[in-house]
């Protein structure tokens, strides 16, 4: 064995070069000119390392058990002292998501009933439905205020059914004080504001007839200016082949919805039921839909009965009847 010329004690690990007895941790000790050279058995070092590794593993396990116990101690308890299994902080999968399935998405269907205020036909049955319906009330009529207040007090949303010039038919069909395409912007704004003030509790507006006036951009721009000022929404009933209400409303920053389905129009209940199914399908496809029915001879009791008949199917398909104002709520 080579001698180390330093005066320090060294440790040499290697093969045995002389006889060794016993299982001492040191293999052999040599003394050379004041040096102490210790040769350690290789197998002994492996044993020491294994023992150290075992100690570390046991320490880790004890720490994990202690940490888990502390978490349980702070977890919400039910009335019996058990951990609440539906607690969101202690009910996650390995990827961090909640164990409970998310509730199914709900399709929203807003049903507007036009011509309220012009007739009592179907009104009682509509009010008896006890769902979120929206009543479009005609302004400037004898029953306008009474029917708007009755609707509001029965939990119905109220909007203005704004009379606008049509391409055909009698001018009397449009109703009192209609908005005409030949009016100036100021005249249209004044008439729109007057119609809104005539319908208590109104939060929006849609179109009564209006196939001519509602296709005139200058007319729609003036109407929507007033709605924006009063923070009201607009529903384009789409009574013309080329509706522009949504386009103009978007340009002016007014919340607007297009009508998707007309429900009735002097049709039997079976027809109205089919149209309600169609409206439900639209809602399921895009998340929401707007359908329009009518009071009076255009729908009335028939439409009310059809809506009532469809309620179980809407519930089964997770289609929720909502006010128009609820369409943009999550």
Q: What is the pLDDT of residue 75?
A: 45
The percent of residues in the chain predicted with pLDDT above 90, rounded, is: 63
Average pLDDT over residues 118-141: 95
Contact assessment for residue 177 and residue 195, using Cβ atoms and an 8 Å cutoff? yes
DSSP 299: S
Looking at the structure, tell me whether residues 275 and 172 fall in a common domain: yes
Tokens for 44?
């002994």
Looking at the structure, tell me whether residues 187 and 296 fall in a common domain: yes
Q: What is the pLDDT of residue 171?
A: 81
The reply to whether 272 falls in a domain is yes
Domain that holds residue 58: 51-90
pTM given for the model: 0.69
Contact assessment for residue 179 and residue 188, using Cβ atoms and an 8 Å cutoff? yes
Q: Confidence class of residue 48 from pLDDT cuts 50, 70 and 90?
A: low
Looking at the structure, tell me whether residues 20 and 147 fall in a common domain: no
Name the domain count of the chain: 3
Question: Within the chain, where are the H helices?
Answer: 42-74, 123-128, 144-153, 171-174, 185-197, 217-229, 245-252, 269-286, 300-316
- Which tens digits make up the pLDDT trace of 53-104? 776 776 667 666 565 555 444 444 443 333 333 333 333 333 444 444 444 5
Task: Report the chain's mean pLDDT, rounded to a whole number.
Answer: 81
Helix, strand, coil share (%) of the chain residues, nearest 5? 40, 20, 35
CATH of the domain at 232: 3.20.20.370
Looking at the structure, tell me whether residues 30 and 163 fall in a common domain: no
Question: Which tops the pLDDT comparison, 128 or 36?
Answer: 128
CB contact burial 154-166 (16+ within 10 A = b; e otherwise): eebbbbbbbbbbb
- Which tens digits make up the pLDDT trace of 193-234? 999 999 999 999 999 999 999 999 999 999 999 999 999 999
Does the pLDDT at position 154 exceed 90?
yes
Does the pLDDT at position 238 exceed 70?
yes
Q: What is the pLDDT of residue 66?
A: 61
Q: What is the pLDDT of residue 330?
A: 73
The reply to whether 5 falls in a domain is no
To 10 degrees, what angle do helices 245-252 and 217-229 make? 50
Q: Please list, in sequence order, all residues whose beta carbon lies within 8 angstroms of the beta carbon of residue 74, skipping any fewer than 6 positions away.
A: none
Strand partners, 230: none
- Which tens digits make up the pLDDT trace of 267-302? 999 999 999 999 999 999 999 999 999 999 999 999
Let me know the angle formed at the C-alpha of 270 by 119 and 237, rounded to the nearest 5 degrees: 50
Average pLDDT over residues 177-183: 95
Does the pLDDT at position 137 exceed 90?
yes
Looking at the structure, tell me whether residues 30 and 145 fall in a common domain: no
Q: What is the pLDDT of residue 314?
A: 98
Question: Which tops the pLDDT comparison, 26 or 49?
Answer: 49
Looking at the structure, tell me whether residues 285 and 236 fall in a common domain: yes
Looking at the structure, tell me whether residues 61 and 184 fall in a common domain: no
CA dihedral 301, 129, 314, 275 (to 10 degrees): 20
Does the pLDDT at position 19 exceed 80?
no
Looking at the structure, tell me whether residues 16 and 149 fall in a common domain: no
Number of C-beta neighbours around residue 135 at 10 A: 28
Question: Which tops the pLDDT comparison, 21 or 309?
Answer: 309
C-alpha to C-alpha distance for 265 and 25, rounded to whole angstroms: 103
Looking at the structure, tell me whether residues 129 and 223 fall in a common domain: yes
Q: What is the pLDDT of residue 25?
A: 41
Does the pLDDT at position 152 exceed 70?
yes
Q: What is the pLDDT of residue 104?
A: 54
The reply to whether 26 falls in a domain is yes
Average pLDDT over residues 245-254: 96
The reply to whether 263 falls in a domain is yes
Looking at the structure, tell me whether residues 322 and 207 fall in a common domain: yes
Starting from the edge strand earliest in sequence, which strands make up the sheet with 26-32, in order?
Answer: 10-13, 35-40, 26-32
Q: What is the pLDDT of residue 65?
A: 55
The reply to whether 95 falls in a domain is no
The DSSP-derived string for 99-132 is SSPPPPP-EEEEEEEEEETTB-TTHHHHHHT-S-
The reply to whether 45 falls in a domain is no
Looking at the structure, tell me whether residues 156 and 235 fall in a common domain: yes
Q: What is the pLDDT of residue 242?
A: 87
The percent of residues in the chain predicted with pLDDT above 70, rounded, is: 71
Looking at the structure, tell me whether residues 83 and 169 fall in a common domain: no
Tokens for 53?
């590794």
Nearest to 280 by CA among 265, 261, 294: 261
Give SS3 for 12: strand
């Amino acid at each position: 064995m080579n001698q180390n010329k330093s005066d320090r004690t060294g440790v040499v690990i290697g093969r045995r070069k002389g006889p060794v007895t016993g299982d001492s941790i040191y293999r052999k000790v040599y003394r050379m000119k004041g040096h102490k050279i210790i040769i350690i058995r290789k197998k002994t070092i492996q044993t020491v390392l294994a023992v150290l590794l075992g100690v570390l593993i046991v320490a880790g396990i004890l720490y994990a058990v202690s940490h888990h116990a502390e978490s349980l101690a702070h977890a919400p308890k039910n009335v019996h002292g058990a951990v609440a299994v539906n607690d969101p902080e202690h009910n996650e999968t390995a990827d961090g998501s909640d164990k409970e399935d998310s509730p199914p998405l709900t399709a929203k269907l807003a049903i507007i009933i036009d011509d309220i205020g012009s007739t009592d036909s179907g009104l009682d049955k509509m009010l008896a439905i006890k769902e979120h319906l929206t009543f479009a009330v005609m302004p400037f009529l004898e029953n306008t205020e009474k029917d708007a207040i009755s609707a509001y007090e029965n939990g119905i949303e109220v909007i203005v059914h704004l009379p606008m010039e049509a391409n055909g038919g009698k001018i009397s069909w449009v109703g009192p004080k209609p908005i005409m395409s030949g009016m100036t912007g100021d005249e249209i704004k004044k008439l729109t504001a007057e119609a809104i003030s005539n319908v208590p509790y109104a939060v929006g507006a849609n179109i009564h007839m209006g196939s001519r006036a509602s296709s005139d951009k200058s007319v729609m721009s003036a109407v929507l200016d007033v709605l924006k000022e009063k923070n009201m929404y607009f529903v384009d009933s789409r009574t013309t082949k080329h509706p522009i209400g949504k386009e103009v409303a978007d340009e002016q920053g007014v919340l607007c919805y297009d009508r998707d389905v007309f429900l009735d129009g002097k049709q039997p209940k079976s027809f109205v039921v089919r149209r309600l199914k169609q409206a439900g399908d639209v809602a399921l496809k895009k998340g929401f839909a707007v359908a329009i029915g009518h009071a009076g001879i255009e729908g009335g009791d028939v439409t009310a009965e059809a809506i009532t008949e469809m309620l179980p199917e809407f519930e089964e398909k997770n289609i929720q009847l909502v006010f128009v104002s609820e369409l943009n709520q999550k």
